[in-house]
Structure 1
Amino acid sequence: MRKPASCVLSIALSLVMTVGFIPSPALAEIASAPEPAAQSAGKPNESPAETTSGQARANDQISAASGTNVTANATQPIDASMFSIEDTDIRYTGNPVMPTVTSSTVPSDQYTVAYENNVAIGQATAVVTADDQNYSGTCAIPFEIKPANAAANYQHSTTAQSGDITLTVQWNDPRLGQETTFHVTATGGSGAYQFRMDAPTYMDPDGSSESVADPSRNQWQQYTGECTSHDYQFEMTASGTYYLRFYLMDKAAGVYYLRSNVFASANDDAYPAVSAIVKSAVDKCSADTDGSDYARALWLHDWTLDHLEYDHDLNWCSAESGLTRHQGTCESYQRIYSKLLNAAGIANGRITGNGHTWNAVKIDGKWCQMDLTWDDTSDNWYGDLDQRHLYFGLTDELMAIAHSDHTSNYQKDDYAYRSTDLSNNYFVRNGKADKWAEKYADRIQQHLDAKEESFSINADNQSFPPSISGIQNGIVAYAMNLREWETNNSKVELAATSNVTKESNSKWSAKYRFLYLSTDDIIRAINQRLPRLRKMYCH
């Protein structure tokens, strides 16, 4: 009579435990033994997990002893009773809510969790999936997303009303350097509200104010989908007051514009006001320089570039963002430099063109052009040309090479920042322009000695793009005109100009053009005009 399979299994296990092996005929008998219709191999007080684990160990021992694969299906299906969500106070935030799902039965590395309907207020679901050697299957864990905390849990609240619709904004005392949550809700109307937050304005203790970000960017223009409330987060980074505007639209109720204003103030020595940062920089500038306009303008130019990176997302556009978030567009560069110059007592102005802005600066009574945005680079692509100062102290004509719209700016009769002099140009002041001019001296002299009254010389930077070569060569031409020239022991007045001509889409020609008159020629020309001048002014 064949023994029951359970009995054979017990004998097999005994043999394994006693002598470390099991004979092949016994294995064959085990393999062919019919399973009992319904019989639990576990003890009455064993948990399903313990039973499964014990059965798996027995199969492993048999397989190891015989070298024969014996497979038993040991996975246990999961159900909702094995899992729990500990957080019982899950609140609406306007963003996906993902509470932690835990289990005292199933190890955390043997299941994954996905979420359904986990944004809006109401019933949501955590979907647990197990696919492991011990556990398998899927089960749903329901949880509730409750309305956001009531107003009593916030320190501040402000409202705006239109008809029966009330827009409410709630927030706590802001902590600088951390995000502050502004909870926006509404009552009345249709209940299908859409909300929007405008770009915040920073109000400095010194009385100045500015939009921190560009309000035309999409993130400040876009309304939410229809909802009953929404949470906005914003990080304040400077001591002072932030002015924030929140909007509601309820199309079904015919309300398209309802605004609530928030003034949130915070002060922290670790996050000084913009005006305090500016004062500290100017004080250090005065201590580190000789106090001249040029030295201070240059120091403040370099300090600005050291503290700011260009924001390629084109969002941050203020002195606040540049000095405390260290990001900004051309507006940030221009505003920061202007604030620094104002604090240093150096006259300056704002220039715009080609969707860009830069500074005009008055140094020792002479206006010149400065573009800190275009100077902010670590590139060194053009030989010994310091690209970090290429746009420091330019004339209007040279700046128009980079920004073509500036031509119409400086040709207006009421233009207030006329810049015609390169005496405060960076390369002129540090002597670099004269060294560049020296490289052309022998070639120029050959033409002078040949008594050519006009001639041209190819520039050495033919491979540079016109926006670079045109500006550099204009500076070099200025230095050429400052040098003393003579031929045949007679002094010569040289007039050098730079000219860059486009020959094709990928090729251009950079040249210097020269005109000269000897001193004798100049005196002769003056004497020829004297009789006419006497008639005009001496009668």
Structure 2
Amino acid sequence: MKRPLYYLLCAIACTSMVGATMPMAAIAEAIQPQETAEQQTQADAATNSDTGKAEDNTNTIAAADTAEDSTATSTGTSQTDPADANATDTATPGTPAPSLRAQTNGTPEAISVATETGYAHSATATQNGVTFTVSWNDAPAGTATTFHVTQANGSSQAKARMDVPTYWDGGSHESVCDPSRQTWASYHSLGTAGHDFTFDFTASGTYRIYFYFMDNDRNDPQNDKGIYYLRTTAEVTVNDAARPSVTQIVNNAVNLCRQETNGSEYDMALWLHDWTLEQLEYDHSLNWCSAESGLTRHQGTCESYQRIYSKLLDAAGIANGRITGNGHTWNAVKIDGKWCQMDLTWDDTSDNWYGDLDQRHLYFGLTDELMAIAHSDHTANYQRDDYAYRSTDLSNNYFVRNGKADKWAEKYADRIQQQLDTREERFSIDADNQSFPPSISGIQNGIVAYAMNQIDRKTAGNKDYLSAESKVEMMSSSS
């Protein structure tokens, strides 16, 4: 069976009549140039208390931390949760013990057990006569902290795992990594020597890490300790001038933004958009998903882009919200009283494949309809009665504001005028970008149609009322 080929039909449809017509919704199948929906669905599963904070714009950014020295302090706590006594996480046989050291690719690697015998900090938990202990020392700046995990009075089946660290600097808590990744769900045998996990703390602030312990064997009553869930907690506080907190980085960026722009909401939103894109690269391992990872490790998924931009906008006093769809997340931004859509993840590209179209700003200042061309789930989002970020205006679109949309519209001026001179009331003009994918052409043509609708036209001395709309359709063929 031949794989279907898809052909794009793009057109700019125009109506010449007295009065105005409502634009039709553009229709297109979502195509993601940066990442697949399946990958992002996994990445966006990261759970943290920051998840919905932008929905009502009530979150605030705390004042910047001040760090006068380079010290770290740690505390330990323990917790047992009987409600989770039936947890059944198991280690994969033969899986190498991972290091959770922050690497450029986010991939764990095997490490050896530390030879240290004395530790400055420890946290313990006890159940059924078995003691589970996590010990560590404060590591100097730029060095990963090793967490040595051991057990006493347990069986040969005893195993443990390290959960995703969470970060807090006075703002909102967030998971540094995506807890759905297999790295964070895998248990490792403790044996008699224990097991080591490592992690780099890259920002001033407080990190909390849960360690989980299991020791049970239903097939061997002699070794069945009946422990399915035992948790202990390590907290590490970093106070290092060389490793500023996320809040410090955000506030410094906003201060610089105020110096380098005229202070208008549009100019600040654009400056902060471009600054964010310079800070990080998309993490194709789908591990790093936080503002902490994006601003201090310079890696992140769409969650990182959305969270960083939201924090910057909050600090700048610009209203914003969080939008999700197709396993993806992006920002809604209110500029001069009008909501518009921003997708920084998809804007983060060095591609320049489509003529004079600046792809690095293609998703800056879109309407709901145009954003839904790229992210089809958004159609259901913005059609809800309780949708809070209705975006229907393109006046703050990047290409409209910089005049590019008018230049694109001028390319069609003669063809439109010819139709008007023949007194045609409805006509269609083929778009020049028919070879572009819908997530590119549909959005560009929607912007062109908006620019066309701002132009006054006349035929034989009479004023014409022109309503232009972009139509994007997909047709399949087995040939």
Q: Could you say which residue in structure 2 is the equivalent of 1:272? A: 244
State the Cα deviation string for residues 472-495 of structure 1 (Å, max 9, x = none). Answer: 000000000001111011111100
Instruction: In structure 2, give the amino acid aligned to 1:447.
Output: Q
What is aligned with 1:451?
423
1:158 deviation in Å? 1.0
CA offsets 1:359-381 (integer angstroms, 9 cap, x no match): 00000000000000000000000
What's 1:178 paired with?
143
Counterpart residue type for residue 187 of structure 1? A
Q: Which structure's residues are more often helix, by fraction?
A: 1
Deviation of 1:202 (Å):
0.8
Distance 1:493 1:119, change over 3 A: closer
1:435 paired residue among 390, 395, 407: 407
Are residues 293 and 492 of structure 1, via their aligned partners in 2, closer, same or farther at CA, if it must alter by over 3 Å?
same
TM-score (norm 1): 0.66
Deviation of residue 95 (structure 1)?
Answer: 6.6
Partner residue of 1:51?
none
Change beyond 3 A, Cα 1:423–1:406: same
Write the distance in 1 (CA, Å) between the matches of 2:330 and 2:261. Answer: 24
CA distance, structure 2, for counterparts of residue 427 and residue 268 of structure 1 = 42
Q: Cα distance, 1:219 vs. partner?
A: 0.2
Partner of 1:244: 209
CA apart distance, 1:176? 3.4
List gaps (5 residues or longer) in structure 2: 1-95, 99-109, 217-223
Contact 1:485–1:491, Cα closer than 8 Å, also in 2 = yes
Point out where structure 1 has 5 or more consecutive residues left out of the alignment: 1-93, 97-117, 122-146, 508-539
Aligned residues: 365
Conservation of the 8 A alpha-carbon contact between 2:132 and 2:152: yes
Does residue 154 of structure 2 align to residue 189 of structure 1? yes
1:175 and 1:236 in contact (8 A); partners too = no
8 Å contact kept, 2:151–2:190 = no
Q: Whose relative contact order is higher, 1 or 2, with alpha carbons under 8 Å and at least 6 apart?
A: 2
Letter in 1 for 2:177: A
Compute the RMSD of aligned alpha carbons.
1.9
Match of 2:82 in 1: none
Q: Return the letter of the residue paired with 1:493.
A: Y
Aligned to 1:388: 360
Q: C-alpha distance in 1, partners of 2:168/2:436?
A: 44
AA aligned to 1:243 is R
Work out the CA distance in 1 between the residues paired with 2:257 and 2:176. 26
Match of 1:353 in 2: 325
Shift of 1:192: 2.6
What does 1:69-218 align with in structure 2 at a 5 Å threshold? 148-150=115-117, 153-204=118-169, 206-218=170-182
Write the letter of the residue equivalent to 1:236: F
| C-alpha spacing 1:447/1:273, structure 2 compared with 1 (3 Å) | same
User: Displacement, 1:178?
Assistant: 1.5
Distance 1:308 1:505 in 2: 40
Question: What is the DSSP-based 3-state SS (H/G/I as helix, E as strand, rest coil) of the residue aligned with 2:202?
Answer: coil
Measured in 1, the distance between the counterparts of 2:291 and 2:160 equals 28
CA distance in 2 between partners of 1:282 and 1:196 (Å):
39
Q: Give, in whole Å, the separation in 2 of the partners of 1:296 and 1:505.
A: 46
Offset of residue 466 of structure 1: 1.1
What amino acid sits opposite 1:498 in the alignment?
Answer: S
Instruction: State the structure with more CA Rg.
Output: 1
Please say if residues 466 and 500 of structure 1, whose CA atoms lie closer than 8 Å, have aligned partners that are also in contact: yes
Aligned 8 A contact 1:159 1:166 in 2: yes
**For residue 197 of structure 2, what is the aligned residue in structure 1?**
232
Aligned residue in 1 for 2:383: 411
CA distance in 2 between counterparts of 1:180 and 1:481 reads 60
User: Which residue of the partner structure matches residue 91 of structure 2?
Assistant: none
Q: Is the alpha carbon distance of 1:435 and 1:242 closer, same or farther for their aligned partners in structure 2, counting shifts above 3 Å?
A: same
Query: Are the counterparts in 2 of residues 191 and 227 from structure 1 also a CA contact under 8 Å?
Result: yes
Contact 1:197–1:246 (8 Å) recurs in 2: yes
* 1:407-458 CA-partner distances (Å, limit 9, x unpaired): 0000000000000000000000000000000000000000001000100000
**Residues 369, 395 of structure 1: 8 Å contact kept:** yes
For each residue in 1:171-230, what CA deviation from the matched residue of structure 2 results, as whole angstroms up to 9, or x when unmatched? 0113332100000001123243111000100111x2421100001100001111352310
1:338 partnered with 2:299: no
For residue 256 of structure 1, report the CA deviation from its aligned partner. Answer: 1.1
> 1:53 is matched with which residue?
none
Cα distance in 2 for partners of 1:267, 1:506 equals 62
Cα distance, 1:503–1:434 mapped onto 2, change above 3 Å: same
Once the two structures are superposed, what CA deviation does each residue of 1:119-172 show, in whole Å capped at 9, x if it has no partner?
A: 999xxxxxxxxxxxxxxxxxxxxxxxxx9543xx11111111112011101101
